[in-house]
Amino acid sequence: MDFGIKITIDKPDTFLLVKETLTRIGVASNRTKTLYQSVHIFHKRGEYYIMHFKELFKLDGKPANITDEDYERRNHICSLMQDWGLLTIIEPEKVQISSQPPPIKILSYKDKESWDLIQKYSIGSQ
């Protein structure tokens, strides 16, 4: 697959943990307390990928203007998830991290109820 970052997870339960954690990471509007999820975990034929939502649009054959900043955001979030022990990046040399990663907001689990969490892509319903 030419999209996303291929990863492994330790056990099947971790999939749901990664999926939930990603709902709390993205681009935020502090004024409206809205967070737009940037990346998703994608599972296909026993393999797992971290993908920017625009990559998922492209995978579905829909137009998507994915930018270098989008890729940098995806890479940064994936790297953070690995640092937290939630996943392992299969080919870390392909995950370029810039010295100034694009801005993201990470909500704590306890704060998520006071924010509007928006997914721009919903896996399985396109």
Hey, which bits of 58-113 come out as E strands? 88-89, 105-106
pLDDT per residue as tens digits for the range 57-106: 998 888 889 999 999 999 999 999 999 999 999 999 888 888 888 899 99
Token reading at 63: 């137009």
The pTM for the full model equals: 0.90
pLDDT per residue as tens digits for the range 25-44: 999 999 999 999 999 999 98
- Length of the chain as a residue count: 126
Q: Are 87 and 14 in contact (CB under 8 A)?
A: yes
Single-letter amino acid code for the residue at 31: R
Q: Strand, coil or helix: what is 5?
A: strand
Domains assigned to the chain: 5-119 (3.30.70.650)
